[in-house]
Amino acid sequence: MSGNIQLLSDTLERTRSENRAALIAYLPAGFPTVDGGIDAVKAVIAGGADVVEIGLPHSDPVLDGPVIQTADDIALRGGVKIADVMRTVREAHEATGAPVLVMTYWNPIDRYGVERFTAELAEAGGAGCILPDLPVQESALWREQAEKQGLATVFVVAPSSKDERLATITAAGSGFVYAASLMGVTGTRESVGAQAQDLVRRTRATTALPVCVGLGVSNAVQAKEVAAFADGVIVGSAFVQRLLDAPDAAAGLDAVRALAGELAEGVRRSGTSA
């Protein structure tokens, strides 16, 4: 089976044709349990998410703030394995038809084996991988195998990235570009800074790939703000916090489904400026 990079591209093209941004939800695999995590992914898509990122829990998630670190810790203490991540991708995609990516640090893939990881992700129906800590200069093997398997390679750019560096990163990427709205880790913020809009503008000058903004968005107002200048709005910590706050599993699913609906309404209230 080939990966679903084309489904990802088609989905982002569809949302652009609807004059809106895509809603991209992030949830870690294995949280609160493997089956519970799969149910949560189905719930956010039912609520209105267009694309889902499945986090591969890591003991030292340097990009992730305390909320996602807490979820990762719960998943790891529950014994989550890469096989569980692949099962989450498979069952979420098969149940919804939505594009599903994995977001992971590089070390687990390096230890697991690039060829094995990409083959299994494609076989599971995955659309690609987001790799926040893989330097472009060291990504040739990954990109070769990802392209062979029909998977997107999504790199992360930051406000600190110089224009020349942006061009190098976007030339090597595929699927979309993940633009970090600020310097720091994931988590909800009072506001999403103007530097995110400037980063999207500078990134678009280097590529035709969609540019999607993550870090800091937690409500419909912020989603609307970001949707006005980005191709996609990425939300993670707010979904995880709803699950952490829920008194039981059913309430957690209701909460993330409702949040996805609010955010989806936000991205639809404002067309992109592309």
Taking only the tens place, the pLDDT of each residue in 65-76 is: 788 889 999 999
CATH topology of domain 4-267: TIM Barrel (3.20.20)
Q: How far apart are the first and last CA of the chain?
A: 34
Q: What percent of the chain has pLDDT over 90?
A: 77
Which residues are known to be catalytic? 53, 64
Condensed to tens digits (0 to 9), the pLDDT of residues 141-160 reads 999 999 999 999 999 998 88
Q: Where are the domains of the chain?
A: 4-267
pTM listed for this prediction: 0.92
CB 81 within 8 A of CB 58: no
Residue 206 half-sphere exposure toward CB, CA atoms < 13 A: 22
Flag whether pLDDT at 273 surpasses 50.
no
Residues 235-244 have pLDDT tens digits of 999 999 999 9
Which carries the bigger pLDDT value, residue 46 or residue 214? 46
- Contact present, 175 and 152 (Cβ < 8 Å): yes
Residue 272: name the closest of 179, 188, 184, 200 by CA. 200
Look at residue 274 in the predicted model and tell me its pLDDT. 41
